[in-house]
Structures are given as structure tokens and as C-alpha cells.
Amino acid sequence: MSGEVIGKGRIEAFSDGVIAIIITIMVLELKVPHGTAFADLLPIVPVLLSYALSFVYVGIYWNNHHHLLQAARGITGPIMWANLHLLFWMSLIPFVTSWIGETRDTVAPVASYGIVLLMTAAAYQLLATMLARHDGPGSQLGQAIGTDRKGTLSLVLYASGIAASLRWPDIGLAIYVAVAVIWFIPDRRVERVLSDERP
């Protein structure tokens, strides 16, 4: 159709650029200590831990995004905007990461972190759904996404994490870590269908 003229290569390259910047600028929040003792690193430990968690999250998204676009047949204008929408929410991860890092486990930062993760996950689901719909139900992607239990589960978990964080920020954070562990494994569904087709 008339909307399919966007090259997959350039949308991948642009997304890679933005994701590479997002994953790297978070380290700029690690403020150099003024002292010269090992103890001066202590206040940085929570910042470093929140950086590590967000690094894993952005890495997971890069990985899944990579699989998703690789399986996709074509990109339309609306799909390109769904992709930019995903990048917008991802770009807020460094901001909420810093807030958690500087204020430790307090309600508003942990809940805000969860909200950004939830919106990012929802934006990813939207992109995946639009790509699958565009390729059609009989396509690789249509079958792979099909009954997306992991995606739905993580949306539910993020919402639970946000709710929990309003009372117990630590439990909220623990739930976010759990979702990261679930997603750590690349999307086997897509991989399986792909490798079935390539004998």
C-alpha cells in the first residue's frame, strides 16, 4: 500500500542511535565525588544500582525491538510514529533513574519510575500490535505475538509495582526487578517461529 515506503534499515539505525544515547547518558548522572576516599563512593552506590537496573531494562528493549523489527515485513507512517512514541517513553528512563538514585527508595520516585516503565511497555505493545496487524494474522509476527501472555503479564506487574510503591517503595522496586528478570530472556516466541521458517 501507499504507506509502506519507509525503509526498515533507517528506522532501525535511528532507533539504535537514540537507544544507544539513552543507555549511555544515564552514566552522566554518576557525579564525581569531591573526596578522594573509597568511602566517598558510598553515596553513589544507590545511583549505580539504579543505573544498572535501567541499563538492563534499556538493553532488554533494544534486544526485543531488534527481534521485532527483524521479523516485521513493512513499516508505515503510523508504525513509524508508534516507534517514536516508544522512544519518547524510553527517553524518560534516565530522568526517573536519576530521581530514584538520588532519593533512594521513596514513594514518588519509585512510583514515577514504574509509571515510565508501564508507559514504555504499553508503547512497545502498541508497536508490536501494529506491526503484527500490518503483516497479517498468518505472518510470522502475527503468529508470534498472537497470545502475548508475557506482555500482558508485565503490564499487570508494573501496575502492581506502582500500587505497592505508594505504600512500600521497596516492594515496588522488587517487582520492577522481577519484570526485568522475566524479560531478560529474549522473546523465544518470535525466535522459535523465525527459526521454524528458516530450516
Give the binding site for its own copies (CB under 8 A): 1-7, 10, 12-14, 16-25, 27-30, 32-33, 36-38, 40-41, 52, 55, 59, 62-63, 66-67, 70, 77, 80-81, 84, 87-88, 91-92, 94-95, 98-99, 102-103, 106-109, 111-112, 184-186, 188, 191-192, 194-195, 198
In this structure, what is the dihedral angle of CA atoms 101, 104, 106, 110, given to the nearest 10 degrees?
A: 40
Tell me the closest approach of the beta carbon of residue 68 to its own copies, in angstroms. 12
3-state helix, strand, coil in the chain (%, to 5): 80, 0, 20
Between CA 179 and CA 64 the distance in angstroms is 14
Tell me the closest approach of the beta carbon of residue 181 to its own copies, in angstroms. 13
Distance between start and end Cα atoms, the chain: 30
Tell me the closest approach of the beta carbon of residue 166 to its own copies, in angstroms. 10
C-alpha cell at 13: 539505525
Tell me the closest approach of the beta carbon of residue 82 to its own copies, in angstroms. 11
Which candidate, 169, 198, 157, 159, places its Cα nearest to that of 71?
Answer: 198
Contacts 24+ apart (CB under 8 A), 80-85: 80/6, 80/11, 82/123, 82/126, 82/127, 82/130, 83/11, 83/15, 83/127, 85/123, 85/126, 85/127
Tell me the closest approach of the beta carbon of residue 156 to its own copies, in angstroms. 23
Tell me the closest approach of the beta carbon of residue 62 to its own copies, in angstroms. 6
